[in-house]
């Protein structure tokens, strides 16, 4: 018997057709294993969790199910493919489920904000302010027009301040460089990690206390620009780095100076990327609340002048109203949150649509225009 | 022996014509403006430190070193210190990291190693959307949605694992004793720092040398063994650096934490992370600012300065680690 065993396996191996090994391929059998494992572990978890033990609660059930699912996956893969493959399969399933699972909180956040906010988000939300709202008003009375206007003005001023400075800093880092470039790059990195409340404290100390200013929308815009500057500078630097060096050299070889090269070659080539940098910067600051608590304080009535008097902003509006005990106020806060989230998501999607193409990318419309001129 | 060479071919080398051009006025102006902008950016950072120190000086002089050992925050009575808030900040940050780092690691590995090529960009965008959601919305979500759903878990942990010092709670069966806790704040902050951790790790993993990966596969390795033996060791710096960048963000998170926790100053009670009450330096500033007098503001400035210095140190470390990892300095976030 002991002699025959290897012989038999030899004859077997001759008849077996060698299967092609594909290390990355996801085979049909894997899919069935996963589906079966998920279903089987669901049944097992249900039996154990809901029938056999006095446990309850969605979260606990989910954890039990997941644990059973991993165990089943491992056993199935070990039976079919062996120990080594089982470990591989387990790692694949863990990594995949966690990564896909990360989409769940995002969907819930967006969905929950919509479901809580749309009751009070009516047209009047964009036209009325809170000056006539009493404690017993319904949530469909009054709105966030003061906050929306304030937000737009603050973000606008902050953009005007931070974008030129940020892009100039990026040009310095990428086009001129020198000894100052390395420390400056580190500083910009460090700046992007400043806690937003510290930016507010800084403006309070350096602008409001030191220069004896009032708390205004402009002060808030200063704090926001401190937060926006590093985002713009870093994103813009990455974009400028993608401009091919050959273009710069061609411009210099044609006799263009540095300024002419930057103005006529580098910046136009990187235009869409720079626009992305600006939009990402805006998306970064439009939802900032902490610095505004210190610098603009908020206001229930309409104030369109950012240089005089307290001004409201959407994040402040939410933060103030959500701490009221009345449900109507909280509903208004959720309406504000929905408006803010919508704004940020639109900005983000626009940034993705125009960004993400390489520099010098010629889009469909531009190609048509060039074709009309007979250039392409 | 030697080949005769024509005279004209062995004339001495002439100096090469060097193209020297003077900078035009516009170029000089351009350089000056751009340099000034760079200097201004540098200057803002210096000014932040400077002004915070100046304004914090009053409070720091009165409190002295006790500022770092006192837990209470009563500037009007002269009894104030950052210890309680600091402990709270660190606890929230640690909880956030414990949750966010494995999740980011898996997400980054999935995007770089497992996901099909056409899914990579959408997945990256999805993670980035998480970073774009304003922190106040995270706060609202944590307070109104997540809290109710996490309390059963907290209660289970508190009842069954209460013997672990961190999970101790006073009334283990009361639902109410689990609300507004450090744990819930940490969960929300974890979600907020996942994007930045993932971005750094993804960048480093995607630079893992393909030759070594193929070598590992050719030796008969599975996908997982390739990851374990090539990608993860290669990306060690990115993992550590990304986690530390996340830590920096978690330390400075203000509004989400302020909305969720109810302030508590006793460090011993703070370490019971499941129990009601938490604290952080940033939320201390946000909550106490409106009612503070001049001296109180100075004390808050001192707290802000502490936070500023801590985040700077953490981020400097992170930057050094990311830059030193084998992948080189090309990590962009």
Each residue's pLDDT tens digit, B128-167: 888 888 889 998 898 888 888 887 777 777 777 777 777 7
Cβ-based contacts of B54 with chain A (< 8 Å): 205
Q: What value, to the nearest 5°, has the Cα angle with vertex A159 and ends A154 and A165?
A: 135
Q: Between A95, A109, A184, which is nearest B42 by CB? A: A184
Residue B181 pairs in a beta bridge with B276, B277
pLDDT, position B330: 41
Residue A211 distance to chain B (closest CA, Å): 12
Q: Which of A74, A12, A14, A70 is nearest to A41 (CA)?
A: A70
**In this complex, which of A59, A176, A288 lies closest to B153 when CB atoms are compared?**
A59
Q: How far apart are CA A333 and CA A139, in angstroms?
A: 10
Strands B73-74 and B79-80 come out as antiparallel
- Asked if A197's CB is within 8 angstroms of B307's CB, the reply is yes
Neighbours of B284 (CB within 10 A): 28
Q: Does A42 touch chain B (CB under 8 A)?
A: no
Contact between A235 and A203 (Cβ < 8 Å):
no
B217 with A197: Cβ contact below 8 A: no
- The minimal CB distance from B35 to the residues A103, A172, A188 is found for A172
Residues 6+ apart with CB under 8 A from A116: A331, A334, A337, A338, B144
Cα B21 to Cα A34, A253, A256, distances in angstroms: 69, 12, 11
- Which residue in B127, B178, B120, B126 sits closest to B153, CA to CA? B178
Task: List Cβ<8 Å contacts ≥24 apart for A57-61.
Answer: A57/B152, A57/B153, A57/B156, A58/B149, A59/B149, A59/B150, A59/B152, A59/B153, A60/B152, A60/B153, A60/B156
Q: Two tokens at A83?
A: 């120990």
Return the number of other C-beta atoms located less than 10 Å from residue B63's C-beta: 22
DSSP 3-state of A243 = coil
Binary contact (B38, A348; C-beta < 8 A)? no
User: Where do the H-state alpha helices sit in A206-313?
Assistant: 217-241, 245-253, 258-261, 267-269, 271-286, 290-295
Specify the pTM.
0.82
Residue B133 and residue A344: Cβ atoms within 8 Å?
yes
Q: State the CB neighbour count (10 A cutoff) for residue A49.
A: 20
Phi-psi region for residue A195, left (φ > 0), alpha (ψ -120 to 50) or beta?
beta
- For residues A222 and A291, what is the distance between their CA atoms, to the nearest angstrom? 10
Full pLDDT tens readout for chain A, 376 residues: 344 444 444 445 456 666 666 655 667 777 788 888 888 888 888 888 777 766 666 677 788 888 888 888 888 888 888 888 888 888 888 998 888 888 888 888 889 988 888 877 777 777 777 766 666 666 667 777 788 888 888 888 999 999 999 999 999 988 887 788 888 888 888 888 888 899 899 998 888 887 777 778 888 899 999 988 988 898 888 888 888 888 888 988 888 888 888 888 888 888 878 887 888 788 888 888 888 888 877 766 677 777 777 788 888 888 888 887 778 788 888 888 898 888 888 888 887 777 655 555 666 776 777 777 776 5
Phi and psi at residue B276, to the nearest 5°: -55, 140
Cross-chain Cβ contact A288/B332 below 8 Å: no
| CA B226 – CA B332 distance, rounded (Å) | 25
Distance from CA of A10 to the nearest CA of B (A): 22
Q: How many whole angstroms separate alpha carbon B279 and alpha carbon B85?
A: 5
CB contact (8 A) between residue A322 and residue B133: no
């Amino acid at each position: 018997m002991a002699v025959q065993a290897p012989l038999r396996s030899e004859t077997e191996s001759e008849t077996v057709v060698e299967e092609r090994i594909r290390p990355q391929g996801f085979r049909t059998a894997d899919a069935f294993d996963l589906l079966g494992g998920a279903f089987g572990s669901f049944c097992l978890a249900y039996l154990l969790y809901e029938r056999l033990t006095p446990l309850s609660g969605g979260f606990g059930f989910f954890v039990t199910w997941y644990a059973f699912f991993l165990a089943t996956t491992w056993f199935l893969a070990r039976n079919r493919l062996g120990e080594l493959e089982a470990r591989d399969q387990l790692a694949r399933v863990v990594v995949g489920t966690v990564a896909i699972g990360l989409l769940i909180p995002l969907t819930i956040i967006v969905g929950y904000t919509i479901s809580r906010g749309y009751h009070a988000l009516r047209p009047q939300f964009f036209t009325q302010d809170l000056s006539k709202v009493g404690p017993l008003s319904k949530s469909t009375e009054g709105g966030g027009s003061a906050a929306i206007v304030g937000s737009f003005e603050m973000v606008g001023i902050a953009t005007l301040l931070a974008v030129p400075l940020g892009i100039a800093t990026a040009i310095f880092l990428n086009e001129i460089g020198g000894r100052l470039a390395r420390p400056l790059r580190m500083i910009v990195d460090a700046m992007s990690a400043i806690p937003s409340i510290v930016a507010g404290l800084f403006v309070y100390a350096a602008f409001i206390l030191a220069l004896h200013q009032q708390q205004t929308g402009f002060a808030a815009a200063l704090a926001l620009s401190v937060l926006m500057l590093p985002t713009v500078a870093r994103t813009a630097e990455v974009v400028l780095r993608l401009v091919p060096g050959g273009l710069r050299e061609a411009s210099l070889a044609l006799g263009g100076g540095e300024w002419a090269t930057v103005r006529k070659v580098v910046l136009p080539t990187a235009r869409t990327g720079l626009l992305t940098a600006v939009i990402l910067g805006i998306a970064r600051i439009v939802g900032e609340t902490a610095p505004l608590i210190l610098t603009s304080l908020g206001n229930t009535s309409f104030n369109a002048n950012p240089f005089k008097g307290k001004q409201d902003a959407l994040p402040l509006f939410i933060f103030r109203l959500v701490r009221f005990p009345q449900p109507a106020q909280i509903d208004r806060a959720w309406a504000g949150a929905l408006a803010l989230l919508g704004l940020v998501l639109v900005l983000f999607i626009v940034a993705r649509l125009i960004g993400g193409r390489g520099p010098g990318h010629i889009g469909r419309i531009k190609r048509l225009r060039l074709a009309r001129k007979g250039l392409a | 022996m030697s080949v005769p060479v024509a005279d004209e071919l062995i004339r001495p080398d002439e100096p090469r014509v060097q193209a020297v051009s003077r900078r035009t006025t516009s170029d000089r102006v351009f350089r000056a403006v751009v340099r000034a902008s760079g200097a201004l950016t540098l200057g803002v950072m210096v000014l932040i430190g400077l002004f915070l120190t100046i304004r914090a000086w009053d409070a720091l002089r009165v409190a002295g070193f006790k500022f770092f050992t006192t837990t209470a925050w009563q500037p009007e009575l002269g009894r104030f210190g950052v210890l309680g808030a600091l402990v709270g900040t660190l606890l929230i940050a640690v909880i956030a990291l414990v949750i966010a780092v494995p999740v980011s690691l898996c997400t980054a590995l999935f995007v770089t190693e497992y996901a099909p090529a056409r899914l990579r960009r959408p997945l990256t965008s999805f993670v980035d959307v998480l970073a774009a959601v304003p922190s106040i919305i995270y706060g609202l979500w944590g307070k109104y949605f997540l809290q109710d759903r996490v309390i059963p878990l907290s209660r289970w942990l508190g009842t069954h694992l209460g013997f672990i010092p961190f999970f101790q709670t006073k009334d283990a069966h009361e639902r109410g004793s689990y609300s507004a806790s450090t744990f819930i704040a940490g969960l929300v902050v974890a979600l907020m720092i996942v994007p930045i951790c993932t971005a750094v790790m993804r960048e480093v993993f995607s630079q893992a040398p393909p030759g070594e990966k193929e070598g590992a596969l050719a030796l008969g390795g599975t996908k997982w063994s390739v990851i374990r033996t090539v990608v993860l060791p290669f990306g060690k710096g990115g993992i550590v650096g990304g986690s530390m960048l996340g830590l920096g963000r978690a330390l400075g998170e203000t509004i989400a934490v302020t909305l969720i926790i109810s302030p508590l100053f006793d460090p011993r009670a703070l370490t019971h992370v499941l129990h009601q009450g938490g604290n952080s330096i940033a939320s201390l500033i946000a909550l106490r600012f409106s009612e503070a007098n001049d001296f109180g503001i100075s004390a808050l400035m001192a707290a802000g300065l502490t936070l500023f210095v801590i985040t700077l140190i953490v981020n400097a470390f992170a930057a050094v680690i990311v830059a030193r990892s084998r992948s080189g300095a090309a990590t962009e976030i």
